[in-house]
Amino acid sequence: MGRQIAPATRRRGPPRDEGSPRRPRRGETARKEGFGGASRPRCAWAEREPLRSYHDKEWGVPKHRDRDLFEFLVLEGAQAGLSWETILRKRAAYRKAFARFDPAKVARFGAREVTRLLRDEGIVRNRAKVRSAVANARALLRVRDEFGTFDRYVWGFADQVALSKDLRRRGFGFVGPTICESFMQAVGIRNDHERGCFRRAELRTSARDGGR
């Protein structure tokens, strides 16, 4: 499987709905209070908590543990039609409900566990999304059997459309191109911080220094 070339036109930042921060224009940054109270230029969507801390500490940092990758696959799918801020506020509840995103444990969830999840007010109680998360855990284990790790598989892609098509072919759900793009941004496959954002340069430096 060859690496794909990302398209020139692409959306930056977590997916937006009416409850999300305004999507930044290309090259636009917002100045907000950073670590130690110093003002730093950020991507314009990171205007308030918890988005700001997530942006500064986590978004775009390369992730290679299968459990972390599975977490973001589930969370990005759950976000469809909602704001990323909503999902971040439910993240702790998701970790508890989904066995801290251990794919082997989630893959064993049956009808009883699905019913439990649909009653859990801490997560998005959408039947299709819940069932998809369980199915995706099983599909991830099949990928792991073939590639050794899900990390080795997913980091072989640089284009969200190619990743989306291959994931669907392998039985994954809620993995359309937009969700895959957000997933790739979140786990660091793509560094889509805005030009001028302090994290863009930091992550590039980390990559050059072998931060992966």
Asked if residue 78 and residue 34 are part of one domain, the reply reads no
Whether residue 93 lies inside any domain: the answer is yes
Whether residue 142 lies inside any domain: the answer is yes
45 belongs to the catalytic site: no
Asked if residue 196 and residue 125 are part of one domain, the reply reads no
Whether residue 76 lies inside any domain: the answer is yes
Q: What is the pTM of this model?
A: 0.82
- Say how far residue 72 (Cα) sits from the centre of its chain: 4
Give the domain-ending residue among 126, 152, 178: 152
Whether residue 70 lies inside any domain: the answer is yes
Q: What is the mean pLDDT of the chain?
A: 86
| pLDDT for 41 beyond 80 | yes
Whether residue 52 lies inside any domain: the answer is yes
The residue from 45, 71, 76, 181 that is catalytic is 76
Read off the amino acid at residue 177. Answer: P
Q: Give the pLDDT confidence of 183-200 residue by residue, as tens digits.
A: 999 999 999 999 999 999
The residue from 84, 94, 153, 155 that is catalytic is 84
The count of C-alpha atoms lying within 13 angstroms of the C-alpha of 27, restricted to the half-sphere facing its C-beta, is 0
Q: What is the DSSP string of 77-143?
A: HHHTTS-HHHHHHTHHHHHHHTGGG-HHHHTT--HHHHHHHHT-TTS---HHHHHHHHHHHHHHHHH
Domain range enclosing 126: 66-152
Whether residue 18 lies inside any domain: the answer is no
Report the domain count for the chain. 2
